[in-house]
Amino acid sequence: MSTLAEHLARFGPDAFAITVSGEHRDVRPHVAPVRVEAAADGSLSVLLLPGSRTERNAVTHEILCLHWPGRADTDGYSLIVDGKAAVAPGVHDTELRLQPVKAVLHRLGAPGEQTNACGHDCVGISLP
């Protein structure tokens, strides 16, 4: 099984953060482009502008998802990382420190081809 660090190097620092806003019945998804860096301890550092919707959402809902879209040089696989985020406000930016809890490479499976439980082509990634 490949490691998350290997795939982060392959996909690069530009990703999308998916958070949710609101409470209970009024929960809405929010997608924002972000820059991601791997930390030595296995966590991920996501830098945001202070006061951004992504920051506000992460304060309320600590679970978030990072998504790197598939490209030709990744054989069409997307990289998806789910994790728990801790918000650390700074002077000029806000850092989300994301502790990954699950990571997969994902691409659509062929019609009618059940490759795993989700019905698509998913490859698990080893976490530290």
pLDDT at residue number 1: 57
Q: Note whether 119 and 109 are within 8 A (CB).
A: yes
Tell me the pLDDT tens digit for each residue of 13-32: 999 999 998 776 778 899 99
List Cα–Cα distances, 75 to 41, 79, 81, 83, 108, in angstroms.
Answer: 29, 11, 18, 24, 11
Give the DSSP H/E element, type plus range, for residue 123: strand 121-124
Residues sharing a CB contact under 8 Å with residue 122, sequence separation 6 or more, in sequence order: 104, 105, 106, 115, 116
Q: pTM to 2 decimals?
A: 0.86
pLDDT at residue number 25: 76
pLDDT at residue number 44: 96
pLDDT at residue number 30: 93
**Residue 114 identity (one-letter amino acid):** Q
pLDDT at residue number 27: 83
Tell me the pLDDT tens digit for each residue of 65-106: 999 999 999 989 999 999 999 988 776 788 899 999 999 998
Domains and CATH numbers, the chain: 4-124 (2.30.110.10)
Q: Where do the DSSP E strands lie in 1-120?
A: 14-21, 28-38, 44-48, 63-68, 78-89, 94-107
Tell me the pLDDT tens digit for each residue of 28-71: 899 999 999 999 899 999 988 888 899 889 988 999 999 999 99
Q: 11 pLDDT exceeds 60?
A: yes
Residues sharing a CB contact under 8 Å with residue 64, sequence separation 6 or more, in sequence order: 17, 18, 19, 57, 58, 82, 83, 85, 96, 98
